[in-house]
């Protein structure tokens, strides 16, 4: 474990014991229960329900275990299944890829080189976007914003995070998908997560409240002209932008955007009987284990 990972884990341990008061549960579910998924003999992958859909998830070496939990729970409750793309942030080891392929054998693992090679023809038509994507590789979340559009040839795209746990069928997503995705869907939070532009302006609060834990859109509802103008206006010297660059990009570029039901697709609050999914963002990662996996264990997972 490197120094940065050690510091992060100490941060979570302090949160678990001092603030969330779930220290013992965190230790058990993080270090004993969660890794059991790697030894499971279940095949989590299920047949594609619509060949016009691709599902995209960005991940890293540190998050492989939670990625498998997230995908396993999504596939368990959902009937919206498309071709699965796993976007590598550059840190996945061969053992990580082997684990992913064990449970999702037909998934496509896309690293930076694969993306730039396979999407080269499409990217050449948008030179400013291509140059921006290549020049700003350190802003890893750009891979979540730009890559799904150009790497997939599907009509519909569903982007999900690796720190989601799914507890019930995502009815709103299924209904919108079946209706042809006239509306673009995103999660919404009760606080704004802004980015900043070179002219000193801040991203508007009403759009900055959209959360990219889940994004569903139809290809023609993603405005590439607006994406280009958004990227060209960003202040790339402001490191704060790296945290929310992709969700602001989605909320700015997508046409006909609508929020997912805030009572069913949650960031804060307890998981209740009507909860479809909870997004365990970094400040709440302790509860991914101490709350989310505890619920799943009681439901008989692994």
For the chain, what percent of residues have pLDDT higher than 70? 99
pLDDT tens per residue across span 201-238: 999 888 999 999 999 999 999 999 999 999 999 999 98
Residue 5 — pLDDT band, cuts 50, 70, 90? confident
Pairwise pLDDT comparison (256 vs 239), residue with the higher score: 256
Share of the chain above pLDDT 90, in %: 87
pLDDT digits (tens, 9 = 90+) for 40-87: 999 999 999 999 999 999 999 999 999 999 999 999 999 999 999 999
* Sign of the C-alpha dihedral computed for residues 76, 81, 83 and 85 taken in this order: negative
In tens, the pLDDT along 143-169 reads: 999 999 999 999 999 999 999 999 999
Question: What is the rounded average pLDDT of the residues 130-152?
Answer: 95
Contacts of 208 (CB under 8 A, 6+ apart): 192, 193, 194, 195, 244, 248, 251
**According to the model, what pLDDT value does residue 299 have?**
81
* Local confidence band at 4 (pLDDT 50, 70, 90 cut-offs): confident
Who's near 101: CB < 8 A, 6+ residues apart? Answer: 107, 109
Q: How far apart are the first and last CA of the chain?
A: 26
Going from N- to C-terminal start, the domains of the chain cover 25-298
Predicted pLDDT at 3: 81
Residue for token pair 């799904």: 148
d(CA 232, CA 197): 9
Q: What single-letter DSSP state applies at residue 197?
A: B
Residue 1: pLDDT band with limits 50, 70, 90: low
CA 228, 180, 186, 204 torsion-angle sign: positive
Instruction: Name which of 7-21, 78-92, 95-109 the model is least confident about.
Output: 7-21
Residues in contact with 53: Cβ distance below 8 Å, sequence separation at least 6, in sequence order: 80, 81, 82, 83, 154, 155, 156, 157, 158, 177
Residues 271-286, mean pLDDT to the nearest whole number: 95
Residue 20: the pLDDT is: 92
Alpha helix stretches (DSSP H) within 41-92: 64-77
Beta bridge partners of 197: 234
Among 140, 164, 166, which residue's Cα sits nearest to residue 284? Answer: 164
Is residue 38 within 8 A of residue 262, CB to CB? The reply is: no
User: Average pLDDT of 259-263?
Assistant: 96
From CA 256, how far away is CA 203, in angstroms rounded? 18
* Topology (CATH) of 25-298: Spore Coat Polysaccharide Biosynthesis Protein SpsA; Chain A (3.90.550)
Q: Is 20 exposed, middle or buried (0-12, 13-18, 19+ CB in 10 A)?
A: middle
Q: Which pLDDT band holds residue 302 (cuts at 50, 70, 90)?
A: low
């Amino acid at each position: 474990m490197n120094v940065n990972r050690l510091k992060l884990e100490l941060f979570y341990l302090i949160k678990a014991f001092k603030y969330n008061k779930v220290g013992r549960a965190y230790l058990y579910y993080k270090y004993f229960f969660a890794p059991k998924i790697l030894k499971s003999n279940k095949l989590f992958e299920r047949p594609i329900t619509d060949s016009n859909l691709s599902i995209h998830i960005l991940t890293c070496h540190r998050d492989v275990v939670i990625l498998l939990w997230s995908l396993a729970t999504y596939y368990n409750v959902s009937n919206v299944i498309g071709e699965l793309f796993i976007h590598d942030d550059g840190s996945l080891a061969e053992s990580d890829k082997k684990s992913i392929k064990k449970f999702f054998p037909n998934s496509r693992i896309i690293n930076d080189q694969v993306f730039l090679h396979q999407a080269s023809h499409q990217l050449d038509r948008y030179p400013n976007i291509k140059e921006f994507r290549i020049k700003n590789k350190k802003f890893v979340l750009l891979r979540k914003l730009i890559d799904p559009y150009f790497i997939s040839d599907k009509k519909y795209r569903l982007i999900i995070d690796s720190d989601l746990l799914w507890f019930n069928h995502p009815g709103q997503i299924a209904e919108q998908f079946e209706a042809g995705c006239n509306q673009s869907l995103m999660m919404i939070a009760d606080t704004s997560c802004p980015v900043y532009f070179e002219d000193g302006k801040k991203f508007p609060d009403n759009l900055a409240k959209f959360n990219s834990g889940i994004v569903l859109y139809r290809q023609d509802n993603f405005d590439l002209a607006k994406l280009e103008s958004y990227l060209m206006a960003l202040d790339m010297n402001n490191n704060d932008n790296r945290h929310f660059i992709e969700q602001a990009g989605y909320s700015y570029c997508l046409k006909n955007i609508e929020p997912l039901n805030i009572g069913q697709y949650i960031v804060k609050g307890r998981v209740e009987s009507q909860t479809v999914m909870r997004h365990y963002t970094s400040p709440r990662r302790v509860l991914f284990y101490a709350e989310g996996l505890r619920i799943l264990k009681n439901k008989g997972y692994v």
